[in-house]
Amino acid sequence: MTQTQQIKTKVLIIGAGTGGYVAGIRCGQLGLDTVLVDGSAGLGGTCLNVGCIPSKAIIHAAGKFETVAKAAGDGTLGITASQAAIDLSQTVAWKDGIVRKLNVGVAALLKKAKVKVIKGWATFADAKTCRVETDDGPITITAEHVILATGSEPVELPFLPFGGDVISSTEALSLDAVPGKLVVVGGGYIGLELGIAYRKLGAEVAIVEMADRILPLYDKALTDPVMKWLTGHGVEMHLGARAGGFGDGRLNVTTKDGEPLQLEADKVLVTVGRRPRTKGWGLENMGVAMAGPFVKIDDRCATNMKNVWAVGDLTGEPMLAHKGSAQGEVVAEIIAGHDRRFDPVTIAAVCFTEPEIVSAGLGPLDVEGRDDVITAVFPLAAIGRALAIEAGEDGGFVRVLASKSDHRLLGVQAVGQHVAELSNSFAQMLEMGAVLEDVAGVIHVHPTLGEAFHEATLRALGHAIHI
């Protein structure tokens, strides 16, 4: 019988995603004895292994393929090429190489910070004690502080269980061939990002969304350019529709009008949301209070149990990697004795659709009916850099919302090609409490897409230059 190893530590972190590993590195930097338990996803968690990074790699490859395919057709920008072809298995191998490189990088950073990484699945007996099953035998860990960072997992529909040709985003990132017909169930950002990528790669794509429009959390002005791309590129849209069972290569759908419909599908990609990973690791034994499906925390990321903390997707919306990382840093510094709070002005979000969408702070839906808000929009079509890189022809724009009384920025949104790179500028200005005059007073580099942010604020002040 294998003897159970006993470990005592100052900090125990469960989950090696962007919340957990960042918390581990910061704990190590601050001299805290730290153990990080890494479950099945691998260092970097969902984001690095089966989420943010690999999806953006596949999206990038799809964009490259689309460009070559255009050149092989009628040509583009005076460029012509022979017939485009793709070996998706090689693309996936390239993507996997990027993931491995980043895995190695995270491991090196944790080692440098003197964090002990244990590979295995943890199960808690109480709030401060867990048992980890490893390849080298069981380990019991007791800790003074516990940071829960178990992340989230795709939601499975009971009538469309994952398996075979019904896949989640995880499997969609590792297909060995482009499906002839792909049906995406769910018109949120994950389904649209991957659906658009596979359309660019040549698949026939249909989207089934229960709401009356795509990306229902964003206002229609932001989503209209994406909808225009979808319909213009032959993506079959079924809005206000409900998916049913799948069999014999056909997905049953009930349309908005209540009519039955069958959609042919080689693969059915189910992307109806993500849920916190709360099962299978003994959360119920920890005495931690919940807020609906999420672990309840305060502005210090503290749970109701003393010295038990939670970060990332486990703690609620927005389920974004950069939120988890920021929370992980805050908790590490609190444990080290610093006075910290997690109280951001904004957490910017990006949809890597075609075109991309960025939203930071308040949007039109949040200020509906208010007469104390200035809203100004500046089209990318009036920006030289946008036209020069074919980013100004899809209805894209930058929009600012500000208080009428003191011109304080309340929110910034954008839609257009490559606008994801503007997200940090938007968040920075909001976090610093900038007013319209602050943005207007910054000399923005020409020619860049960021000039649209500058011009939008000028327009809010009543004197835009280039429109």
Question: Over the stretch 236-269, which tens digit does the pLDDT of each residue have?
Answer: 999 999 999 999 999 999 999 999 999 999 999 9
Read off the pLDDT band of 39 (50, 70, 90): confident
SS3 of the chain: helix, strand, coil, percent, to 5: 35, 30, 40
Contact present, 249 and 255 (Cβ < 8 Å):
no
How many Å apart are CA 30 and CA 35, to the nearest integer? 14
Cα end-to-end span (Å), the chain: 77
Comparing CA positions, the residue from 65, 67, 70, 123 lying closest to residue 94 is: 65
Per-residue tokens: 251: 């997905």
Question: Could you tell me how far CA 363 lies from the centroid of its own chain?
Answer: 19
Q: Which of 19, 18, 20 is nearest to 37 (CA)?
A: 20
| 345-364 residue pLDDT tens | 999 999 999 999 999 999 99
pLDDT score, position 42: 85
Q: Hey, which residues does 5 pair with through a beta bridge?
A: 139
pLDDT of residue 411 exceeding 80: yes
Give phi and psi for 150, each to the nearest 5: -80, -10
- Write the DSSP string, 284-310: GGTT--EETTEEP--TTSB-SSTTEEE
Nearest to 191 by CA among 207, 202, 177: 207
Q: What is the mean pLDDT of residues 87-104?
A: 97
| Amino acid identity at 9 | T
Catalytic residues: 446
The confidence band for 1, taking pLDDT boundaries of 50, 70 and 90, is: low
